[in-house]
Chain A
Amino acid sequence: MKFGVIQFPGSCDDLDALNAAKRVGDAELLWHGERDLKGADAIVVPGGFSYGDYLRAGAIARFAPMMETVIDFANDGGHVLGICNGFQVLCEAHLLPGALLGNANRRFTSRQVELEVLNSGGSFTRACALDERLSIPAKHSWGRYYADPQTLAAMDNAGQIVLRYAPGENFNGSVHDIAGVSNERGNVFGLMPHPEHAVDELIGGSTDGLKIFESMRMTVEGVHA
């Protein structure tokens, strides 16, 4: 299985995502200016500050040539994971519903958070158990998830709300404590916390993030939990 990790000018957690993905399969960096996915089975849009977060986080990166290819790939059923800035890019690109706004506390906040798995049947969480708690670091200033009430109701019904901050852990003010969502079809997933920073006991103590990458591998290789 091969992961493709997109690299924009300003991406910061691209190498971290690459190394996390490599624990589970093959992985290669994909330059924003090109259009070739180089045989990737799944795409990761990583965290960071693409284009300096100028105008709005993800607003400019969304128009990169590589993103055009990724949008086609997603529309064809390809699996795409967006982490933090990547989540922002996917929302701007309308591959995911809703939008990410500035943290309610108006500050960049970096904290290890507990997430609840609300949907463990999907492509990105099949290695998790329902209601399992994942310990994953979150670090952002623009992570307040917002969608209007009708959209939220529809997402709820369709099982698109995949991860939620555990009680007391929501520092950015996301509506309904939403931390990660998928599209209706379930092949595109975005989350604000950073699973790629929870893959090694030595670095941070939690390996819960590995389950997201592992789930993707299982999905692509047709393995079921």
Chain B
Amino acid sequence: MPDSAVLPTAEDALALGLTPEEYDLVCEKQEGPPNLLELAMYSLLWSEHCAYKHSKKLLRTLPTEGSHVVMGPGENAGAVDVGNGLVCAFKVESHNHPSAVEPFQGAATGVGGILRDIFAIGARPIAVLDSLRFGEISDAHPSSRSRYLLDGAVRGIGHYGNSIGVPTIGGEVYFEGPYEQNCLINAMALGLGERERLVRSAAAGSGNTLVLFGARTGRDGIGGASVLASAELGDADTDEDKRPTVQVGDPFEEKKLLECSLELLERGLIVALQDLGAAGLTSSAAEMASKGEVGIDLDVAKIPLREPGMQPFEVMVSESQERMLCVVEPANVEAVKALCEKWEVNSAAIGTVTMTGRMRVFDGEELVGDMPVRALVDDCPLYDLKPEKPTAPIYAPPVATLAADTPPREALLALLGSPNIASRRPLFEQYDAIVQSRTVRRPEQADAAVLALEDESGLAVSIDCNGRRVAADPYTGTVEAVLECAANLACVGAEPLGTTNNLNFGNPEKGHIAWQLTESVRGLGEACRALEAPIVGGNVSLYNEGATSGPIYPTPVIGMVGRLPDARKAGRLGFVRAGDAIALVGPFVPSLAASELAKLHGEALPDGLEEIDIEAIRNAQIAVREAVRAGGLASAHDIAEGGAAVALAECCLAGGLGASVELAGIAAGMMANLFGEGPGGFVVSGGEEELRALGELAPVRVIGTVGGAALSIALGEGSLSATLEELTDAHTSLRELFP
């Protein structure tokens, strides 16, 4: 039994987030009550954030295999084959709770963390996308808090991504009441690596050395993982109290770390690699040992520290950023340290791989913690969700900002200027989208971001989720999110290869949230199976609710990567030539239920959404994709928030060209025709000939022509018209948020 001054009590365990039953289980695994250090480590590794206690069983139902999958869930990132011996590694992660406390650093370190996951498997990060959620920010609800969070998060993402030289090429942001107290900051990253050179994280080789390299270890984020992420943000908690647990990121340090890690791998100097994220050294070392089915001896006295007087448990749980852990054969340790010196990163040999199956923490000669690896990582109890379909609405209706009888023209301008639809240019201009010279389609040029590979094929990527629609119908709403991603890929001519997801939900111990989660994962699985776009990795963020403010909308953020054979043919969303024909394509069944217009009208969420014919939509996506690849379409744009009218306006704005179209008889009622939403619809433009050919593969309805300086829509009963200038004026409403 390790020597230790104080033995913590069961109360201490509860304060650290363990349940009484979990504490008893820990005592059983330890064959006695754990000491301070051991309890801290168990509390972190058994937290929801690290152990996925409430979601793991559900996640096991997701499809993870496919012909393109090279690395599935379970490693630092997933990877798909992209030809020529290359793989694209990608993953999405969240940093929600820290960002609500300190948005700049929370978002910055979120980017840092996901980037480390990419180069931890041996891939060079080539792109970042972000998916953000905040409370309402329009003039009707001037939430200074949400504006403050938005500003900080965008600056933080820009700061980290730009400084480290990885382009931020896409993303999305939504503003809804339920995110007011619990913002969402999800960051996705892509990397490029050689299939033969990918590295895993399982520690191996008894007697091998553990080397910690990167930044010095300080007190950043101590206890952050379990204390913050698994606790509901109580209204009584002041941000001041939580501040010391927020990590501070240093992108310059990470740039050096990245180059160093990639060169270490290139030179074949390391056996296994793992980045340090939530729960720091505790989780990295434990997970490496668990995957390798080995033991680890660690000496905290060997770890380079930034702060004086750090206790062993602090060193083990510190979440100081920009650190990596690797396993090295003893003969290579000197070479590893020399390489670290070249890149000006600290390095230290801090431990050894053993065959004991135990995690033993030393402080110099003194043994201060001794735990079975299995108990720490694999034996954490997993819980079954107890889903209960809610019988009453969970969410208050959105506050109305538009009169119910607003005529179509004013409704269109209001939608274009609404925060969920308006141009994101003021945000993405704060990001470098072009460094590394691969970007073929920059933000607002196409529905998906496109990067060129060396052989001139293209990688396409999109990140999507409409949380409000998922709240209306968790199963269908999630299917829609997956289809949205695939539709965006189709518009640039890309075929989906794989998917990543970040499940952002409320407290899963509550029946209605468990129901949301269960239904959402069911939809996720079904849609990914139908599209043959398996899940290669992802993240779960639970307990996103305030004590008095209620849960967030269920928000399963989906990231999807695809490939197109010729990047030169990548699709665009803007109209290109006056005279081109415009058509609506796909089995589009628009409805105003849960639409953006309904939100502006302050309508309550419907109970359920229209059923979806996934197969028909998939076929339409394939048809559009092939037409784009063949060069037959001048433009292609997926219909999403705001319906067909908004999509048409976006095509006009992006192309700087007007259009004359007729929208009637698609749905019941003028407003539904204009602004009804639903999956499976595209607005495309091109020659009449090409559109007719497309009509043989999917429902196509020619609705008008590109030209002029205004968007004119004939509606059967009446019409609406708005000049490009008026549309631009409305569309640029977010500019005032970033003076």
- The interface of chain A, by Cβ under 8 A from chain B, is 9-13, 15-16, 19, 48-49, 51-54, 105, 107-111, 137, 139, 141, 194, 196-197, 200, 202-204
Contact = CB atoms under 8 A, between A and B. Distances in A.
Interface string B409-438: 000000000000000000011111111111
B252 A49 contact: yes
Contacts of B567: 202
Contact of B344 (A9, A54, A105, A110): A9
B165 A110 contact: no
Given A15-B436, A16-B435, A203-B440, A108 B162 contact: yes
Contacts of A105: 739
Given A109-B430, A110-B429, A203-B437, A13 B165 contact: yes
Contacts of A194: 434
A9 B343 contact: yes
A49 B434 contact: no
B429 A12 contact: no
Contacts of A54: 252
A3 to B, nearest CB: 16
B251 to A, nearest CB: 7
A12 B164 contact: yes
B250 interface: yes
A15 B437 CA distance: 9
Nearest to A204: B434
A107 B431 CA distance: 10
Interface string B243-255: 0000000111101
Given A48-B165, A52-B163, A108 B158 contact: yes
A137 B432 CA distance: 10
Given A51-B252, A110-B433, 19 more contacts: A11-B165, A12-B435, A13-B435, A16-B435, A52-B252, A53-B163, A54-B252, A107-B155, A109-B429, A110-B429, A139-B162, A139-B432, A197-B435, A202-B456, A202-B568, A203-B440, A203-B452, A204-B434, A204-B442
Given A9-B343, A110-B431, A139-B432, A52 B251 contact: yes
Contact of A110 (B155, B255, B432): B432
Most buried by B among A16, A49, A53, A110: A110
Interface residues of B, number: 35
21 contacts: A9-B255, A9-B344, A10-B255, A10-B256, A15-B436, A16-B436, A52-B253, A53-B252, A105-B739, A107-B738, A108-B432, A110-B430, A110-B431, A139-B162, A139-B435, A197-B437, A202-B440, A203-B434, A203-B437, A203-B452, A204-B442
Contact of B437 (A19, A49, A108, A110): A19
A86 to B, nearest CB: 14
B714 to A, nearest CB: 34
Nearest to A196: B437
Interface string B447-478: 00000100010000000000000000000000
B167 to A, nearest CB: 9
Nearest to B434: A197
Nearest to B166: A12
B635 interface: no
B256 to A, nearest CB: 6
Contacts of A11: 165
Contacts of B253: 52
B208 interface: no
B351 to A, nearest CB: 28
A221 to B, nearest CB: 25
B541 interface: no
B180 to A, nearest CB: 25
Contacts of B318: none
Contact of B434 (A107, A109, A110): A110
B162 to A, nearest CB: 6
A180 B426 CA distance: 26
B251 A49 contact: yes
Contacts of A19: 437
Interface string B127-168: 000000000000000000000000000010011001111000
